[in-house]
Amino acid sequence: MIEPVGFTASVVGITTAAIGSVKFLYTTIGDIKDVPTALGNIRSDLQAVEPVLQKLITDLEREDSQVLPTGAIKSAVENCNSACSTFKKRLDHWMRHATKYKAFWAEWTDRVRVGIFEQGTINVFKGRLNDCKSTLNMALNTSSVLIVARQESMMKEVKDSILKGNEELLDREKDRADRELAAIESSMKQLLVSIRDEVNEESKRNLEQLLEEMQEQKASNDFFRKTCEEALLKTKNIYNGIEQEIKNTKADNNSKAVAGLINTSGKVRNVKQNISDTSAGGGSFAGAGIIQDLDLSIPSSKNE
C-alpha cells in the first residue's frame, strides 16, 4: 500500500511531467500548417485533460485531501504522460518527409490510403487520454463527496443522498468502462487477423505497433475500472458508517490474526476503526476490530 505522503509527492511529480507533455503536444499539433481534422481534434482532448491534471495536484496538496491513495491513479497519470510521448514520436514519424513544398495534409492523405495504422493510432491515443481523464475525475469527485460526507453539521439525510448519488454515478462509469473494454478486446482480435493476413512487411510492422498501443489502451481502461471499484467501495463504506485503516496484519507459525469487521454481514453502521499492527505467532491468535461468532477451535474455518 502506498503511504499518503509518499503517494502525494510521487503523483505530484509525475502529474507535473504529464502536464508538460500535454502542453508540448498541444503546441506541436497547433503549429502544423493545414493540419488534418483528425489530428486537429486531438487538441480538444488535450485541452480537456490538462485542467483535470492541474486539479489533481491542487487536491492532493490540500490538508484535507481525500483523494484515494491508489496505484491506479498514479498509473493513469503515468499512462497519460507515456501516451503523449508515444504519440509525439508517431507524429514526428509521419512528418519526417514533409517539406515546405508539400502541405502536410497532402502527405497525410497519401498515407491513410495505405491502411488503418494512422487512424487506429489516433483512436487509441484519444482513448488513453479519455481513460486518464475519467480515472482522475472519478477519484477527484469521490474526494469531494467524502469531504462533504464527513461534515458533522450536515444532516444525515443529505449526506446519504450525496453518497448514494456518487454510488450510482460510479456504477454507471464502471459499466461504461466494461463496455469500452469489450470494444477494445474486439478491436484487438480484428487487428490480429489483419496482422496475420498482411503480406507487406512495413504495413505488418505498423499493425503490430498498433496492437502494442492497444494493449496500453487496455491497461489504461483497467486503471479506470480499478479506480471506480475502489471509489465505489469507499463510498459504500462511508454510507454504511464504516471507515477502516488497517495495516500490517500478520500471522506465522500456525497462528491466526484477523482485523476489521469479521462476520458482521455488512449490518454494522457508524463504525470508525484505525487498526495498526495486529500480529500473532507461536500458535496464538490475535484479533482487532468488530468480531462476531469467531470459532477459534477450527484453524481452517471460514473465519480466516
Q: Which residue is associated with the grid cell 453539521?
A: 153
Quote the pLDDT of residue 6.
75
Mean of pLDDT over the chain: 79
Does residue 134 or residue 275 have the better pLDDT? 134
Cα-Cα-Cα-Cα dihedral of 249, 229, 70, 261, to 10°?
-20
Percent of the chain with pLDDT over 90: 39
User: What are the residue boundaries of the structural domains of the chain, listed by start?
Assistant: 4-239, 243-291
From its phi and psi, is residue 69 left (phi > 0), alpha (psi between -120 and 50) or beta?
A: beta
pLDDT of residue 288: 54
Q: Tell me, what's the pLDDT at 134?
A: 95
Q: Report the pLDDT value the prediction gives residue 79, as an integer from 0 to 100.
A: 93
Residues 35 and 105 sit within 8 Å (Cβ to Cβ):
yes
pLDDT digits (tens, 9 = 90+) for 21-71: 999 999 998 887 777 777 788 999 999 999 999 999 998 888 777 777 778
Encode pLDDT of 71-97 as tens digits. Answer: 888 999 999 999 999 999 888 877 765
Question: In the prediction, which pLDDT does 70 show?
Answer: 77
pLDDT tens-digit series, residues 101-126: 455 545 555 454 334 567 888 899 99
What pLDDT, on a 0 to 100 scale, did the predictor assign at position 237?
83
Task: Tell me how far apart the terminal alpha carbons of the chain are, to the nearest angstrom.
Answer: 21
161-177 mean pLDDT: 94
Residue 222: the pLDDT is 94
SS3 240: coil
What is the mean predicted confidence (pLDDT) over 264-276? 53
Q: What is the pLDDT of residue 71?
A: 84
8 Å CB contact between 173 and 134: yes
Which of the four pLDDT bands, split at 50, 70 and 90, describes residue 298?
very low
pLDDT band at 9 (very low <50, low <70, confident <90, very high): confident
Give the angle subtended at the CA of 22 by the CAs of 173 and 81, to the nearest 5°.
70
Confidence of residue 2 (pLDDT cuts 50, 70, 90): very low
